[in-house]
Structure 1
Amino acid sequence: MIQHTQISDRELQGLIKNQKVRFGGNSKLKIYGTLHCKSGKRMKKENRVFFESEQEAIELGYRPCGSCMRQKYLKWKKSL
């Protein structure tokens, strides 16, 4: 997991380009989603984290976003 406040925007662009970052998340709410999610783009930089894989986010206790990952979110919600 990479915190947005600990890297520059230029470094982040490189990580995305090289597919070292594929998902974003909110560290306070413990939610992860795609990099194109409108909800994710609105969050504060200090709460934003990045993951290389969906599995990494899940292992760290994050749940799928209800907006950009609707089907996975519904499956997660049913499992509660």
Structure 2
Amino acid sequence: MYRHITLGETTQERKRKLGSLIRSGAIKLAGYKKAGIYGLLSCSSGKRMKIENRVFFKDTKEAIGSGYRPCGHCLPKEYKLWKAGLY
């Protein structure tokens, strides 16, 4: 079971908390709720998502455990392994 982090009530609180978690290394990956895809925080595909469709993970194990698959754009090696059923 994975714990969910409460970011705050207002947009400003959420941005501040999220930034702090990213800087501390507690969050390393981001996902897209609608498609069930996760990738690097720096992924150009991920940066185009609306904030309400984003989720965040501390690591690959958490993302995979939550039912997400690797992004073919920013994680091509992991995507190929997932596609081959090796993840």
Q: What is the TM-score when the length of structure 1 is the normalising length?
A: 0.88
Structure possessing the higher relative contact order (Cα contacts under 8 Å, 6 or more residues apart):
1
Q: Does 1:75 align with 2:81?
A: yes
C-alpha distance in structure 1 between counterparts of 2:6 and 2:54, whole Å: 6
C-alpha distance in structure 1 between counterparts of 2:28 and 2:66, whole Å: 15
**Matching residue of 1:58:** 64
**Matching residue of 1:48:** 54
Aligned length: 80
Question: What code does the residue aligned with 2:80 have?
Answer: L
Gaps of 5+ in 2: none
Structure 1 ranges of 4+ moved more than 2 A: 1-7
How high is the sequence identity, in percent, across the aligned residues?
Answer: 47
Structure number with larger C-alpha Rg: 2
When structure 1 is superposed on structure 2, of 37-46 and 7-16 the one drifting more is 7-16
Alignment equivalent of 1:16, drawn from 9, 22, 38? 22
Pairwise CA RMSD? 2.2
C-alpha distance in structure 1 between counterparts of 2:70 and 2:8, whole Å: 22
C-alpha distance in structure 2 between counterparts of 1:61 and 1:35, whole Å: 18
